[in-house]
Chains A and B, each alone.
Chain A
Amino acid sequence: MSHRILIIDDEDDIREVAALSLETVAGWDVLTANSGAQGLARAIEHQPDAILLDVMMPGMDGPTTFRELRKNPATAKIPVVLLTAKVQSNDQRRFADLGVEAILLKPFDPLTLSTQIAAALGWK
């Protein structure tokens, strides 16, 4: 069984490395969006199994995008994993308080990213 993942990140390099990793290592179906707004639209249209969401984005940032996802009945139940380069514990607590399913740190290892996501979401 394959999974469909939506990656929302404004940085081309992060987005492409993550997509390469999840497609090549795990064989997952990957969708991408380069902004929170585009991500919301893609999530509604494609109903991914999970969303990998960057925190710091111009315009609609990750936390705002997450709240919009939760507000919309069409996307409210999609698991969200935050991806952040913010390593300080106060940032981590703030993100955890949002209610996301998991928080993963950048930089990620392309060889193990899918394993980390699967473990965080309880996918066997």
Chain B
Amino acid sequence: MNVASDRRPDPPDLTDALDRLWRQFLPQMFERVSALETAAGPLSAGNLTDAQREMANSSAHKLAGILGSFGLPEGTVLAREAEALCSSGPGAAPAAAARLWEITVVLRSLIQNRK
């Protein structure tokens, strides 16, 4: 039967192909981080709309689901934390917004600097 254990790929082939996909989807990664950045201000001010919350939540969820597959497990951990912060209700503490902002800075850097 044809499973990974008896047909290991040439790792550079997979790595190169993943790098091509990463470049292809890089704009989407930044768009998702931007959605989190957009939510941080209103979250801090206590006036995050449902639409903004949903967008930020969805963006964080998508980042959490893909960054680890591209070799950025720390990005997945941070995106999961961002998802939890965005899911908190309208009375989220200012500290939550500050933490969300910190996370976006690190996520942007991780994505920018992926080798």
| Chain A contacts to B: CB under 8 angstroms | 1-3, 11-14, 16-17, 20-21, 24-28, 56, 85, 87, 106-112, 114-115, 118, 123-124
Listed residue (A12, A111, A115) with the most chain B CB atoms within 10 angstroms of its CB = A111
* Residues in B neighbouring A110, C-beta threshold 8 A: 14, 18, 69
Cβ A25 vs Cβ B9 within 8 A:
yes
Cβ A25 vs Cβ B1 within 8 A:
no
- Tell me if B64 counts as interface (CB < 8 A to partner A): yes
* Residues in B neighbouring A112, C-beta threshold 8 A: 4
* Residues in A neighbouring B3, C-beta threshold 8 A: 26, 114-115, 118, 123-124
* Residues in A neighbouring B73, C-beta threshold 8 A: 107
Interface size on B, residues (CB 8 A): 29
CA distance A87 to B21 in the complex (A): 25
Cβ B8 vs Cβ A25 within 8 A:
yes
* Residues in B neighbouring A20, C-beta threshold 8 A: 14, 17-18, 21
Cβ A107 vs Cβ B7 within 8 A:
no
**Known contacts A26-B7, A27-B7, A107-B76; is A11 also within 8 Å of B66 by CB?**
yes
CA distance A17 to B5 in the complex (A): 19
- Tell me if B68 counts as interface (CB < 8 A to partner A): yes
Cβ B25 vs Cβ A115 within 8 A:
no
Per DSSP, are chain B's interface residues mostly helix, strand or loop, or mixed? Answer: helix
A-contact bits for B1-26, CB 8 A (1 contact / 0 none): 11111011101011001100100110
* Residues in A neighbouring B108, C-beta threshold 8 A: none
- The 28 listed contacts between A and B (C-beta, < 8 Å) are A1-B1, A1-B2, A3-B2, A11-B62, A11-B65, A12-B25, A13-B21, A13-B25, A13-B28, A14-B65, A17-B70, A20-B18, A24-B9, A25-B7, A26-B4, A27-B7, A28-B2, A85-B64, A85-B65, A106-B64, A107-B69, A107-B73, A111-B11, A115-B5, A118-B1, A118-B3, A123-B1, A124-B1
**Least CB separation from B69: chain A residue:** A107
* Residues in A neighbouring B9, C-beta threshold 8 A: 24-25, 111
